[in-house]
Amino acid sequence: MEQETITLIVNGVERKVRAGPRTTLLEVLREELGLTGTKEGCGQGHCGSCTVLVDGQAVRSCIYLARRAAGRRVQTIEGLAEEGRLHPLQQAFIDQGAVQCGFCTPGMIMAALSLLEQNPRPGREEVLLTLEPNLCRCTGYSSILRAVLQASGQLSPSEVSPPTLPLYAVGRSLPRPDVRAKVTGQARYAADLRFEGMLYAAVLRSAHAHARVRRLEVSPAHSRPGVVAVLTAGDIPGRRTHGLLRQDWPVLVGEGEKVRYVGDALAVVVAETPAQAEEARSAIAVEYEVLPGGFSPQEALAEGAPQVHTGGNLLKHIRVRKGDVAAGLAQAEVVVEETFRTPTIEHAFLEPEAAVAVPDRSPGQEGVTVYVGSQIPFADRDQIAASLGLPPERVRVVQTTVGGAFGGKEDISVQIHAALAAWKTGRPVKLVLSREESMRVHPKRHATTIHLQVGATREGRLTAVRAEIYGDAGAYASLSEAVMTRTATHAAGPYIVPNVAVDCYAVYTNNPPSGAMRGFGVPQAAFAMETAMDILAERLGLHPLE
């Protein structure tokens, strides 16, 4: 694409940059000017993490073409603090605890700034309407609303600085250690890092939920401009699978092997620019033999069902027994029998998965350092080392700021691919997932079907609980065995129940893998049991709390 030089006035300074007809303002700010405080959460103008001001108006820089900003004033989060003094909005976000992971914070502050410059004392509803397009997964928004009202001088002194107890720590409100970096755009997430000579990776993923790869033709990608390497399963020097509990998840699926969900990785393309890597990825040809799949635990356990893995689709059967359930149900004067279903749930963290891997070629100390926002860096280290065929001490995982996780960044996603690319090319490699890739790749909350029988006396005393639970583990084990064990052990709720029988089945399917998410299997059980208790109370003519 034809590049041209344009002039922007960025944070009061005239800057000349190169931009093509499809270059976004976000790309210019982050990649050319190094202003990484502005984040990319979705790339589609939906989440608001990329919000900046152009001539005082809030715009989504991920879909705002750079050439449109030629000759105009662009203000980013880095331009708010003056000589080390925070802008009132930045200070208010600190005071009100409106910053957690911090990934949405720069965009949120810039959107609020646009409002306050037009209306210095907006009403509560106007603030909410202005910030509605900006997503935050962490805070629940109440603290953000208070921060904007504080910055506009609409909170009382006690609301700005609540009285504290005369204690050293407990009862005293303390700011997060990293909060200043987050409100000024200085916090560094993995996608913000740059190294000399850095390459960029893109991963080719399966288009089918269950299929055998008959042919994987990567030679067309090798000839594309800027391509340095195209890696497939045969390029993995060590173990070709990973997993937290079971190593059943392929790093890359090779010819003759099976893909088990839409998202399995087939090849890693490494190039000089992100655009070149993505363009070369699209040149790879894959021939599949599409196989029938199982897309619910019930389907997958049916006689003659397609086998996701050799050895059967039942990953684990968890049994919980206490007392005599048959006798307990026989004693019951009222029995509630219901089936409950909970869906797969996406974590929706604002920061897509990203990693930068840097090789070390020092003689006798060859290894790799991986910068990543992970929840289990030591498990990452061990799995990366196993796939590279290196001892763990030769792999270093550096924890970057994490833009939300909630359990969704416990499994391997980008870590091994980035490390393999760096190891093979001898240069630093950055791999950042798009929002679409992120939603396909990482494990979700388990979908469940829970059949409950709950027995009680007329006085509301529980006599027995029987539960049959089916959890959708998806294509790979991840943490399903541990998560579904928690579902099973919490199936009867926090109640004194003398007789309990639970049978819980974690089942392989051709859906995306399921793994850790806040509550770790308990919310599904709580939903079912608490709803059953409400039904039981209604039948007994009691208040649910009784």
Residue 117 lies in a domain: yes
Is 243 in the same domain as 358? yes
Q: What pLDDT, on a 0 to 100 scale, did the predictor assign at position 269?
A: 99
pLDDT of residue 202: 99
What's the Rg (C-alpha) of the chain?
Answer: 27
Span 319-355, pLDDT tens digits: 999 999 999 999 999 999 999 999 999 999 999 999 9
- The answer on 384 and 359 residing in a single domain is yes
Residues with Cβ within 8 Å of residue 442, at least 6 apart in sequence: 347, 353, 408, 409, 411, 413, 512, 515
**Phi, psi for residue 501 in degrees, rounded to 5:** -140, 120
Q: Which long-range contacts (CB under 8 A, 24 or more apart) does 98-101 make?
A: 98/139, 98/143, 98/144, 98/146, 98/147, 99/139, 99/176, 99/179, 99/182, 99/183, 100/138, 100/139, 101/137, 101/138, 101/349, 101/350, 101/351, 101/401, 101/402, 101/403, 101/404, 101/405
Residues 270 and 311 in one domain: no
User: Do 429 and 369 lie in a common domain?
Assistant: yes
| Closest to 308 in 3D by CA, of 24, 81, 521, 506 | 506
Each residue of 236-268: pLDDT tens digit?
999 999 999 999 999 999 999 999 999 999 999
Same domain, 375 and 284: yes
**HSE of 200 in the Cβ direction (CA atoms, 13 Å)?**
18
Single residue among 186, 218, 240 that ends a domain in this structure? 186
Q: Could you say which of 158, 186, 214 is where a domain stops?
A: 186
Could you tell me the two tokens for 429?
């490699």
16 occurs within a structural domain: yes
What is the total count of domains within the chain? 4
Q: pLDDT under 50 in the chain at which residues?
A: none
Q: Is residue 103 part of a domain?
A: yes
Same domain, 266 and 362: yes
Residues 251, 182, single domain; the answer is: no
Name which of 92, 200, 260 is nearest 422 in CA terms: 200
Residue 451's CATH number: 3.30.365.10
Instruction: Give domain status of residue 546, yes or no.
Output: no
SS3 208: coil
Of 422, 441, 460, the last residue of a domain is 441
pTM of the model: 0.96
Same domain, 245 and 392: yes
Residue 279 sits in the same domain as residue 371? yes
Residues 271, 373: one domain? yes
Report yes or no: 69 and 52 within 8 Å, Cβ to Cβ. no
Residue 357 is assigned to a structural domain of this protein: yes
- The verdict on residue 191 lying in a domain is no
Q: Find the CATH number of the domain harbouring 47.
A: 3.10.20.30
Q: What is the CATH number of the domain that holds 264?
A: 3.90.1170.50
What does the DSSP 8-state code read for residue 85?
A: B
pLDDT at position 189 is: 99
For residues 278 and 390, membership in a common domain is answered with yes
What pLDDT is stored for residue 175 in this prediction? Answer: 83
Question: Nearest CA to 423 among 326, 511, 358, 492?
Answer: 358
Q: Please give the Cα distance from 240 to 254 (Å, whole number).
A: 10
Tell me, what CATH number does 123's domain have? 1.10.150.120
Q: Looking at the structure, tell me whether residues 419 and 483 fall in a common domain.
A: no
The whole-number pLDDT of residue 165 equals 59
Q: How far is residue 520 CA from its own chain's centroid?
A: 15
> Containing domain of residue 218, as a range?
199-290+348-441
Pairing of strands 241-242, 249-250: antiparallel
**3-state SS assignment for residue 14:** strand
